[in-house]
Structure 1
Amino acid sequence: MKIAVVAANGKVARKVITEAIKRGHDVTAFGRHKENNTDASKYVIKDILDLKKEDLEGFDVVVDAFGTWASEAMHLHTVTSQHLADLLEHTNTRLLIVGGAGSLYTNKEHTETVASGPDFPHDWLPVANAMADSLNALRKRNDVHWTYLSPAANFVADGEATGKYAFAGEELTLNKNNESTISYADYASAMLDVIENGQHDKERISVYAD
């Protein structure tokens, strides 16, 4: 498939790109910095908000890996994902979002989330809430083929690629060790699985180390 990855120099994005290339896909990386720190041979220097419809024409999938911890930029989680959705509306190109875990539900009634729990770190609330807002905005759209992939609660940047992971739905799911964890490497593999199987249209799903 032809896959575009935006915000391509981020840590998760780089692993998604590497995995996609390893699986034989045609990958184009989009980043706002001059340096291409990815394994993609095709690199386009362009900020997400400067992208136009023609930039994304011909791609089967666009992976949105935008993320920020800057307090003044939290709104951009929604602004950037909605901009990409606008560019892809009424097309067959799928939009895959590198999501957050804070919005995963912790009860059957779906009234409580990981971020609303008493033990959730206060410093993480702004980004968790911002990413939840972006998900809620996507839920309102029926004009674009989006899928939002939440990682487990413990998202381990330098964790190894084990290949042992499982998918779940909207609720926080624990493994046999009563843990919710996954490495960036396994998350990237899971993202490619979702891309390749073509399922979960207009859905949020999650993945955790099995």
Structure 2
Amino acid sequence: MSQKNPKIAVVAANGRVGALVVKEAAERGLDVTAIVRGDNKTAAQHALTRDALDLTASDLAEFDVVVDAAGGWTPETIPAITNVAIHLADCVAGTPTRLIVVGGAGSLFVNPEHTATVDQGPDFPEDWKPLSAAHGAALANLRGRADVAWTYVSPAADFQADGARTGAYTLAGEELALNAAGESRVSYADYAIAIVDLIENGEHVRERVSVVSK
């Protein structure tokens, strides 16, 4: 169900994905607040300085949509992926506020029976498995919740930080999708477009979707 002029909060907005989501939303004239731990380095009109795990239900009560863009790459920061998603879900539980989570590709299924995932494949790098497991744990928690209007958005397998903004993408489902060239890739910029489209159209509540370039 689409919503006119939603109030949006982007958690971890100074990160590369978060900043692009903020930029895309601001360029569409949407009301967006950056939630950051330090100075606001984004295009957001408003900012709230707060660690994600210190946010409260009252902090988020004014927003129609909260985007969880928290990430991590090191053993110390990877657990935040799961912890922030669960904490934000707790904060918006029982309210109409939507939670859109920037997810991972490792948990996408690679067979119609949905018994095998990308991160179980022989070519999946061992170093990436803790990261994928953290994203997967966040998704598993959300799947078990009927009290949160969540949407989990997996990128394509090749998630390109510096890829071009083409403005064209395919919104797919639970299975790893390929484009016309037989590739599973998407740029951060096109992924951000998909996130803001989901915010505006209000679709896919309590679903995991995925994004792949055209």
SS at match of 2:82: helix
1:162 correspondence with 2:162: no
- 1:75-114 CA distances to partner (integer Å, 9 max, x unpaired)? 3222111111111011100000001101100011111111
CA contact (8 A) 2:35 2:48 kept: yes
Deviations 1:63-82 (A, max 9, x none): 00011012133332221111
Letter in 2 for 1:47: D
Structure 1 unmatched runs, 5+: none
Instruction: Quote the Cα distance in structure 2 between the aligned partners of 1:160 and 1:204.
Output: 24
SS in structure 2 of the partner of residue 159 of structure 1 = coil
How far residue 58 of structure 1 moved from its aligned partner, in angstroms, is: 1.6
| CA distance in 1: counterparts of 2:79 and 2:127, whole angstroms | 16
Q: In the alignment, is the contact (CA less than 8 A) between 2:174 and 2:209 conserved in 1?
A: yes
> 2:123 maps to what in 1?
119
Aligned residue among 29, 34, 50 for 1:24: 29
Residue among 5, 10, 14 paired with 2:10: 5
Distance in structure 2 (CA, Å) of the matches to 1:66 and 1:202: 19
CA distance in 1, matches of 2:112, 2:133: 20
* TM-score between the two structures when normalised by the length of structure 1: 0.97
**CA–CA distance in structure 1, aligned partners of residues 10 and 105 of structure 2:** 21
Q: In the alignment, residue 12 of structure 1 is paired with which amino acid?
A: V
Q: Matched residues in 2 for 1:166 and 1:14: separation?
A: 22
1:78 aligned residue: 82
Aligned residue runs from structure 1 range 45-84, under 5 A: 45-84=49-88
CA contact (8 A) 2:31 2:45 kept: no
Q: How many residues align?
A: 209
Instruction: Write the deviation string for residues 166-201 of structure 1: whole angstroms up to 9, x where unpaired.
Output: 111000011111000000000000001111111111
Specify the SS of the correspondent of 1:72.
Answer: coil
Please, what is the CA RMSD of the aligned residues? Answer: 0.9
Indicate the residue corresponding to 2:3 in structure 1.
Answer: none
Query: Following the alignment from structure 2 to structure 1, what is the Cα–Cα distance between the partners of residues 132 and 51?
Result: 23
Of all paired residues, the percent bearing the same amino acid is: 56
Structure 2 residue ranges without an equivalent (≥5): 1-5
